[in-house]
Amino acid sequence: MEITLQNEVKREKRRRKILIWSAGILIGSLFIIAVGLYAYIIRAHPTIAGEIQLSGLQEKVEVIRDEHGVPHIHANNEEDLYLAQGYTQAQDRLFQMDLSRRQASGQLSEVVGEAALNNDKYFLTLGLRRAAEASYEQYSETAKQVLAKFAEGVNLYIDELRENGKWPIEFKLLGYEPEDWSPIDSLTIGKYMAFDLGGHWESQAFRYYLLQNFSEEKALDLFPTYPEEAPYIIGKDELNIENSFAQAVIPHEYNGSNNWVVSGTKTASGKPILADDPHLSLSTPSIWYQMHLEAPTVNVSGVIFAGIPGIILGHNEQIAWGVTNTGPDVQDLYIEKRNPDNPYEFLYNDQWEKATVIKNKILVKDEDPVEYDVVVTRHGPVVSKFAADSGKETVLSLQWTALEPSSELEAVLNMNKAGSWEEFEKALEGFHTPAQNFVFASTDGTIAYKANGKIPIRKKGDGLLPVPGWTDEYGWVGYIPYDELPRTVNPEDGYISTANNKVVGDDYPYHISHDWAQGYRQMRIQEVLSSTEQIEAEDMMHLQMDQLNIQAREFVPPFIDLLKTSSNNKVSQALSILKEWDYIDSPEQAAPLLFNLWMDEIAKVLFEKEIPQETLDLFRGKRQAVDQLLRRAIEGKPGPWMEEHKGIVNVLEKSLLRVIANLEEQQGKNMEKWQWGDYHQIYFPHLLSTVKPLNLLFNQKGRISVGGSAVTVQAAAFREDGTVNHGGSWRFVIDMNKQTTGYHLVGPGQSGHVFHKWYQNQLKNWVTGDYHETKLHNNEGETLKLKPKAH
């Protein structure tokens, strides 16, 4: 027995040793694999110091990357400058650039697979690349040369990678190499930004859906205004809006921005101060790429979309500028009657008119190519074809300014060199789409505002609803004259600000839009600017990070008053927390968590049982509409949506109790310990992060609590799970007294290469508002010298 026990003990020791050795070998192997993977990934990091010879250069070029990864490119001529810009962008962002042109061109399926097929069909239908190709001929020879040189620089870097094999890891994971870059690629990415910022067709479709499915009174209760004339309504059996756009790609609801400019009469320096923070989707890498370009003819600093030459937002030595989205009605849906005997003919003025048919072959990774026809009527592409039963003899086509030839890049290059308001305004005239609110500041003390772009004048109708396409009674008859677009120069108030709010009064002679953003950000900005003197750049940075929720300041008091007689203890406890709130959406408080989720839940209570979610996604002005429903109900004038839910008190109590129940599951029963920041957290997802486990490689480790919300100046819109996915993608402030220095934030960082020191180095800065300085002169950092290649 004793011998048996001793043998068992020995065997157990051997087993333990084997397990320990096995575990050690496994851990060691994993460590070696991890080290090998890390080494493989970082070998693709670009060379940013030393010397490189490039064919195509006329003279040497210096690229200095400062401590924040911002490249300062110094060249002796413009041809070399833009070649170096293309090369430098490709060094840091080649995969993003390639995916961007593929997305906009309808070519994602080739590298991603069948999952991207509907996406490709949609963008092929819109025809952004077709519009880019048509736009190319609009450009001057000088601008074409810039595009060509930029493309040449990108291709020089691609050729380098073909030779050394040091491709960014994303290309290896997807198993492909990018094709050469072309000027059309840059213009296509530009058209994509118009797509992201310039539409309202979704609102037209949603309003039409309302009229098809509800009483006129109930439908109009959600309209921003009443139709000028009785709309033409076609039955669901002929055209079912609910099914027509199930596969459509819808830009983010909160694409907008803040900008403002303050006169020297209100600043400590006596010179204007300008601030701008465009609100776009937050991702890794950032949608923006910060650069400084210098040659004898230009010295400009700011940001650009990766894949495009020049600087779209920023400053030079005399002027600075920034934008917000005007959001005009530049898209119209037309109800088209199709010939039952010929699917490519449509009725117009009692005649069947042939449409243009564009045949496409979509390449799909690991699958056979897919044949796909795009049909284009006289008004534009037929877009209601993403569900087979949407309409057999009745369809919707789209007319959109961005599908017309335009020359935005030409305008950008001229803006970069402008030295005065007059020169800048002249340059801006060529910037047709997307329509933006530009604010301007100059060292001579001028501050100004101008809305740019082609905004259509309609023969009949006002862009509220789809209109008949089979008659010439409707359609566009021109555009608002450039000299009559909204404009302000040196106002008496001493400041100008925009935040996607309504920019014209009721006496403005032209129609611009039905859908303006909620006015809370603009109200807060003007509240601060009007009450502050001796303003400094630091004050404007603080304002960009301002978390005061004016929506809560408006609605919390009446909500408390309406529910003060509630017998529910949980409702009473929540109201007591809200009553003590200072209306700051700070991450440490419970009140912003209750209020922001309550506002979202009110909309769900009102709409979820009657409107399918896919159709509700088309409701671009939902928050504004809910605000109006609440205001009218508080005033004792409830509409049918409130009345059918037993009035505002019932809606408020029901939605609040649902929020409380959800939060008890997430954060426990003790309401006092709830925190906004435990739910509301920033996350910058990588372009491939939806493919697990790649999210573990590319994404940030953990999430970071952040304040603000969708309605605060510090914009931080969030998804259903609390993930902040939309906000100030670039923050910028400049005092024109120090016009060669700007203050910037580009979250999460400059580099598109995982494990690079500039990959997510500005992530925490984005949360805390810690800006960095970028100068036009005397830059220091890691220097790459580009020299002409000897022949």
Query: Mind listing the pLDDT tens digit for each residue in 104-140?
Result: 999 999 999 999 999 999 999 999 999 999 999 999 9
* Beta pairing, strands 71-74 & 256-262: unpaired
How confident is the model over 213-231, as a mean pLDDT?
85
pLDDT of residue 50: 97
* pLDDT band (50, 70, 90) for residue 389: very low
Q: Please spell the DSSP secondary structure of 629-695, one letter per residue.
A: HHHHHHTT---HHHHTTT-HHHHHHHHHHHHHHHHHHHH-S-GGG--HHHH-EE---BTTTTSTTHH
At CA 769, angle to CA 768 and CA 772, rounded to 5? 125
Is residue 479 over pLDDT 80?
yes
| pLDDT band with cut points at 50, 70 and 90 for residue 390 | very low
Amino acid 756 reads H
Q: How far apart are CA 673 and CA 667, in angstroms?
A: 8
Please give the Cα distance from 253 to 725 (Å, whole number): 12
Q: Region 489-495: what's the mean pLDDT?
A: 97
Largest CA distance in the chain: 107
Catalytic residue annotation: 257
Mean pLDDT value of segment 205-224: 92
Span of 244-258, 589-603, 660-674, 680-694 with lowest mean pLDDT = 244-258
- Please report the sign of the dihedral spanned by the C-alpha atoms of residue 71, residue 726, residue 763, residue 104: negative
pLDDT tens string 85-108: 999 999 999 999 999 999 999 999
Q: Is the pLDDT of residue 167 over 80?
A: yes
Residue 515: its pLDDT value, please? 86
- Residues 588-616, mean pLDDT to the nearest whole number: 96
Confidence of residue 495 (pLDDT cuts 50, 70, 90): very high
Q: Is the pLDDT of residue 172 over 90?
A: yes
Q: In the prediction, which pLDDT does 255 show?
A: 65
Look at residue 690 in the predicted model and tell me its pLDDT.
Answer: 76
Other Cβ atoms less than 10 A from the Cβ of 468: the count is 18
What is the tens place of the pLDDT at every residue in 499-534?
999 999 989 999 999 888 889 999 999 999 999 999
Question: What is the per-residue pLDDT for 722?
Answer: 96
pLDDT tens per residue across span 243-297? 666 566 666 665 679 999 999 999 999 999 999 999 999 999 999 999 999 999 9
d(Cα 758, Cα 289) in Å, to the nearest integer?
12
Please indicate if the annotation marks 332 as binding a ligand.
yes
Higher pLDDT, 695 or 291: 291
pLDDT at position 8 over 60: yes
- Give me the torsion for CA of 158, 310, 76, 97, rounded to 10°: -10
| Beta bridge pairs of residue 735 | 273
Q: Partners of 396 in the beta sheet?
A: 335
- Strands in 61-65's sheet, in edge-to-edge order, are 50-54, 782-788, 61-65, 71-74, 288-295, 298-305, 313-315, 319-325, 436-442, 447-451, 487-489
Tens-place pLDDT, residues 648-669: 999 999 999 999 999 999 999 9
Task: To the nearest 10°, report the CA torsion of 716, 718, 723, 724.
Answer: -20
- The percent of residues in the chain predicted with pLDDT above 70, rounded, is 90
**Quick one: how far is CA 222 from the chain centroid?**
26
Q: Report whether 597 contacts 663 (CB < 8 A).
A: yes
| Average pLDDT score over residue span 618-623 | 90
Q: Which residues contact 718 (CB under 8 A, 6 or more apart)?
A: 680, 709, 710, 724, 725, 726
Q: Sign (positive/negative) of CA torsion 75, 76, 78, 79? A: negative
The answer to whether residue 386 scores a pLDDT higher than 60 is no
Cα 55 to Cα 194, 310, 767, 788, 790, distances in angstroms: 34, 21, 42, 6, 8
199 vs 297, which has greater pLDDT?
Answer: 297
pLDDT at 31: 47
Q: Is 329 marked as binding a ligand? A: yes
